Structure 1
Amino acid sequence: MAATSARTLKLLSIFGVGATLTAEELATRLGASVRTVRRDVDTLRELGYEIEAVRGAGGGYRLGRATRLPPVVFDEDQAVAAAVALQTVPTILHGIRENSARALATLQQAMPARSRVHAEAFTVSAARNYWEFPAAPIDAEIIRVIGGAINRQHLVRVDYTGEGELATLTLEPHALVVWAARWYLVAFEPDADRWRAIRIDRLEPRMPTGRTFDRRDVPHGDPAAFVMGTHDRGDTPAEWPCRGSALVALPAPVVARFAPGGSTVEHHTDSSCRLTLGAWSWAGLAGLLLTFDADVTDIRPAELRQALRSLCTRIDEGLGHPDR
């Protein structure tokens, strides 16, 4: 009976994500037979949960929209995910540390003892390494305002500081993306007829407009892919002991996706761009340029050019060709 109850609770938690799953998929997740899954579904229905059977292609079982889940139904993996998320969110959102700590404590108190053991086993301390260049934590209120506008499909007006100038923009907000510990807004700017990836730490929302817009298809079909492949997303070069640049014979969207944190990419031609980046040494900076496996020209400054020459000499000597 205890095993049956635990399995039924886990089934309820799986339904809680809102997906439609076949009996076979549910059986795989539960480690049970399809017959057992159908019996557990009947048990949930007897307890008052509206489990819908969806027919046709893509069919299966799902939780009805009118169903109200218990306050907390976590399995062990979900308990760990909640604990880790609530402990790390203060690194990217400002003014939320106390609330996230209280939320974690509340969840742990409401969890069954078995789930609570797994959640309490994870104490996470976030630390930066030399290659991380996150923005300062974002004010949670800004995320609430922008997120609400996305959900309601409301135009937003924002003051945006880009390239040293303040501009007021009217935007159709479509998605929030966190990449490399930095928040970006994926939005369409009607006045300029273009899509933009905008650093959230560079904008300040104005009064709500209350005006709606029709949702558009995000380029590449994925907000995260759009941000990663956009070179003019408002990033700035990080402070390093050594900093230089070069023209790289690759399109700007390709370099933007794989450039190290704290670097910037400028469009030059359809097949080349200028990459500005830094490192702790000129040799380290030269090595980073070589990782793109593309021709580099107009290399600046002279120290970076000399570092590349020195690397060539070392490599030739290591390969047994000291004649260069």
Structure 2
Amino acid sequence: MLKAQRLIQLIMIINAKKSFTVQELADEFGLSYRTITRDLQELSELGIPLYSIQGRGGGYKLLRDRTLPPIAFSESEAIALFFASQSLQFFGSLPFEEGASSALNKFYHYLPDDIKEQIDRLKNKVAIWSPYRATDPECLKTLLQAIMTRSAVSIEYNSRHGVRQRNIQPVGLYSSHGYWYCPAFCYLKGDYRLFRADRILKAQLNESIPWRKDVEQFDLRNPPEKNGADQASLTVELTANGVRLLESESWFGPAIERREDGRGTATILVPAENMKFYLDLIWQLGEDARVLEPTEAIEYIKQKIKIMSLNYN
């Protein structure tokens, strides 16, 4: 095996190990202790974050922020990666913003000049617009880390009841209309809740809280079932234009039942405490939507109409 090939394979092996000894690698490669020691020294000089463990049973470990082995990309794959990254630039916050920018700069630096020119032509030519919403990127990063490392999170959450301390176990993290949302199990309520990330004032991993395996089985495509007392059925009647405007909404679109004349009806189950959020979406449709149930939802819309009419009297 050529030395370059051996070094690449060595990077892949030590990335997969939490810790290792020189002798373990020497046995695995069928090489001498001295040769592996020289290889590790060379990898360290190349920037692989290795550090030695002193004492009996010692060896080597990688720092937490490990360096991945070289990966070969085709031209179309390189362009696809740039397009995917650039499409996120209009979000107010990202959980990996600095990492994405740094990775792209490294990636771009080593591309052939003709591919750089092609990518440069895409700048400001293609965009996926998103409403700008200010969210603390560190908060998003903590929520993402919690999912990856199987950790609970202690948060300060600013709801309509004021700022409260919550311990949660995130189910997922998604963005809609520029807002980031985190469905999670709330240890205080003993049930699942939907948290809006911009209302989380502070978030930190809390390893003292046991990770619940029953929560981990759920994800964004397989959401947790909620207690019947905490959810409500919302039914909306739509004009043909209302159907067209609402069919792209992830919450309402799949639930729309269309009629031959183009009109339709949508019924969805929503968390009772978040009913106003969904009603405000419906409010934006104006005369193209009419709430049929529940009664408290109809009263909420009537109150908004009354307040709006007072603004013009």
What is the TM-score of this pair, normalised by structure 1? 0.48
What is the TM-score of this pair, normalised by structure 2? 0.50
